[in-house]
Chain A
Amino acid sequence: MSKQLHICFKTPLEHFTLDVDIKIPATGVTVLFGPSGCGKTTLLRCIAGLHKAENAQLRINDDIWQEPASYLPAYMRKVGYVFQEPSLFPHLNVTKNLLFGHKRAQQQGQLSLNEVSQLLGISHLLQRMPNKLSGGEKQRVAIGRALLSNPEILLMDEPLSALDYSTKAEIIPYLEQLHERLSIPIVYVTHALSEVKSMADYIVLLEKGKVSAQGPLKEMLLDLTAPLARFSNAGSLIDAIVSHYDKHYDLTEFSVDGGTVTVPGNIGAIGTRKRIHLSANHISLARTPANDSTIVNILPVTILEIDQASSAQCNVRLQLGQDSQILARITRRSKDQLALSVGDQLYAQVKGVSLVKL
């Protein structure tokens, strides 16, 4: 009961009212997802105490941070906040920036300066001034600075959006490591679906200040009535374990619930766990297993649900193996030509598998 975050805010914004009342898990990454200007950043600022909402209830595990009658000022809340821009203090070098919050924390956290700099790959930068760092390095220092203040919750406001494509790619592995390493909850704001897929355990969708849907990411991706399934790049996530590496063709074979999936390259040692994203657009359905196709990943599936996503396309939710489900997107014409209906046993041909997360 006490191990969760109760976040309830009501505050007027420019064009609408932010009105949110949610309970989210006290572990893992919760992504606040929505279009620009939907109020997700304001919600994060409310949690940190940077935006004062009148009508509020904020409970982090057993601690009450805000109630209609009481308000803990920002500097007394144990948050780590990573802003969109790194916002390092320009007059302090990297070490002093990192230790700014560390010195002021009442209790020292589980992480030391050394550990954090190693975790984020900034050990060689400690003596530099912020203006001698690249954009990606600055943001990593900013993340480290937030972690070292021994927060009970880490809030990240689109930490990658101000960075270019290659810098993003440089930072994402560090973020994924944080996720593995930290026991505190992370609330991550983004409008990029790719970040959702690689980061989120739990997702809250915001639209014009209101929560339109929320739940564990895996379930939300498969909920055909929820907004995520309507996205052009909808897909599903399945757990996979490396089972074999074919040296001759440089292919790694994963065993997944109900079959195997082959991915180019040497991904990792046998037994390594990965999360695999299967894009709905890259899955086609057939009545018989094709043996004259170049597609190597063919999985037996059963139709659970068919939903018309647009005038041309349908989303099909499929049972894979014992406990897994995946999503396929096909044209409405194909559905009619094959006369697909719930309960049919088919073969899913998967072209395009992307690995997300360690």
Chain B
Amino acid sequence: MLDAILLTLKLATLTTIILLIIGIPLAWWLARSRGLFKDTIATLVSMPLVLPPTVLGFYLLITLGPDSPLGNLLSSLFGGPLTFTFSGLVIGSVIFSLPFMVQPLRNTFESIGNRPLEVAATLRASPLDTFFSVVLPLSRNGLLTGSIMSFVHTLGEFGVVLMIGGNIPGETKVLSIAIYDFVESLEWAQAHLIAGGMLGFSFIVILSMTLLERNSRKVGDV
């Protein structure tokens, strides 16, 4: 069971870090630009919210599989097909949790408005400088919410993992799969332990996030 816990934490952490790297520029672009292209991308980013995870997993299985051109390319890069590996799982999780990172970030970026950027420009800060010294610090809440939501959401994913990761102990067997396993084999005590643990953990995380947000709102705004 410890294996599964560590694997799950590793997957969620890695996914959150990658999502921060992809999500920040993507959300900034979505918040600042206009047009049909932006709306199309925004829709694609939100798709994982409504699609059954198995649908996503199914397409990922096909795309990452050795029979697709992309799968082939990735195979040669990673030295083997990504399906049923931890790397494949990370890719799936990143796509699956993308809206949970991008949406709060985009909302935060939009709420900052133009004024702080203009003020920074009249104080000699280049656009990049402004982004790091004004936008990101002012987006602390969005960054926090996005990271926590992505992390927790990744902990709970099941369908995508099952489709592209399977159930390989130490490689792709995460907690949600482990629960399923224990229930299948009628090991109720074990299932209870993990399920209860995840319930408590999620509760504490969401509660502390709410409290943190309320606190920083007090300090916030001019």
Q: Is the interface of B mostly helix, strand, loop or mixed?
A: helix
Q: Are B125 and A104 neighbours in the complex by a CB distance under 8 Å? A: yes
| CB contact under 8 A between A105 and B124, given known A83-B119, A87-B116 | yes
Alpha-carbon separation in the docked complex, A80 to B125 (Å): 13
Which of these binds chain B: A88-96, A225-233, A246-254?
A88-96
Q: How far in angstroms is the closest Cβ of chain B from A342?
A: 50
Q: Are B119 and A89 in contact (CB under 8 A)?
A: yes
B123 and A100 contacting across the interface, CB-CB below 8 Å: yes
**Cα distance, A145 to B125, chains bound together (Å):** 13
Q: Which of B115, B120, B129, B138 contacts A91 (CB 8 A)?
A: B138
Per-position 1/0 for A58-82, Cβ under 8 A of B: 0000000000000001111101110
Residues of A within 8 A of B (CB): 48-50, 73-77, 79-81, 83, 85-91, 100-101, 104-106, 129-131, 138, 145-146, 149
**Interface of B toward A, CB cutoff 8 Å:** 115-116, 118-127, 129-130, 133-134, 137-138, 140, 219-222
Contact (Cβ within 8 A) A100 B125: yes
Q: How far is A337 from B124 in the complex, measured between Cα atoms in Å?
A: 64
Contact (Cβ within 8 A) A50 B219: no
Question: Is the pair B123, A104 in contact by a Cβ cutoff of 8 Å?
Answer: yes
Name the A residues within 8 Å of B118 (CB-CB). Answer: 50, 74, 81, 83
CB distance from B122 to the nearest CB of A (A): 4
Q: Which residues of A contact B140 (CB under 8 A)?
A: 91
Query: Which residues of chain B come closer than 8 Å to A88, judged between CB atoms?
Result: 222
Question: Which of A79, A81, A130 is within 8 Å of B222, CB to CB?
Answer: A130
Sort A-B residue pairs by CB-CB distance and give the 4 closest, nearest first.
A101-B123, A81-B122, A104-B124, A74-B121
Docked pose: A138 CA to B221 CA in angstroms: 13
Contacts A75-B127, A87-B115, A90-B138 given: A49-B222 contact, CB under 8 Å? no
Q: Is the CB of A101 within 8 A of B124?
A: yes
Cβ distance A38 to chain B, nearest Cβ, rounded Å:
21
Q: Report the minimum CB–CB distance from A163 to chain B (whole Å).
A: 14
Are B116 and A89 in touch, CB under 8 angstroms?
Answer: yes
CA distance A204 to B133 in the complex (A): 37
**What residues of B have a CB within 8 angstroms of the CB of A75 in the complex?**
120-122, 124-127, 129-130
Bound CA–CA A87/B118 (angstroms): 10
Q: Does the CB pair A149–B134 fall under 8 Å?
A: no
CB of A125, distance to nearest CB on chain B (Å)? 14
- In the complex, A57 Cα to B129 Cα: how many Å? 28
Further pairs besides A75-B124, A76-B124, A81-B122: 10, Cβ < 8 Å: A74-B121, A75-B126, A81-B118, A83-B118, A85-B115, A89-B134, A91-B140, A100-B120, A104-B129, A138-B222
Shortest beta-carbon distance, A112 to chain B, in Å? 17
Partner of B220, one of A90, A101, A149: A90
Which residues from A are CB-within-8-Å of B122?
48, 50, 74-75, 77, 79-81, 101, 146, 149
Q: Which residues of A contact B138 (CB under 8 A)?
A: 89-91
Residue pair A149, B124 in contact (C-beta under 8 Å): yes
CB distance from A95 to the nearest CB of B (A): 14
In the complex, which residue of chain B has the Cβ closest to the Cβ of A148?
B123
Report the bound CA distance from A77 to B122 in whole Å: 7
CA distance A199 to B26 in the complex (A): 47
Complex alpha-carbon distance, A79 and B118, angstroms: 12
Please name all residues of chain B whose beta carbon is closer than 8 Å to the beta carbon of A91 when the two chains form the complex.
137-138, 140
Residues of B within 8 A of A100 (CB): 120, 123, 125, 133
**Residue ID in chain A nearest B124 by CB atoms:** A104
Residues in B neighbouring A138, C-beta threshold 8 A: 222
For A49, list chain B residues within 8 Å (CB). 121
Chain B residue with Cβ nearest A81: B122
Chain A residue at smallest Cβ distance from B129: A104
Q: Give CA–CA (A69, B133) in the complex, Å.
A: 31
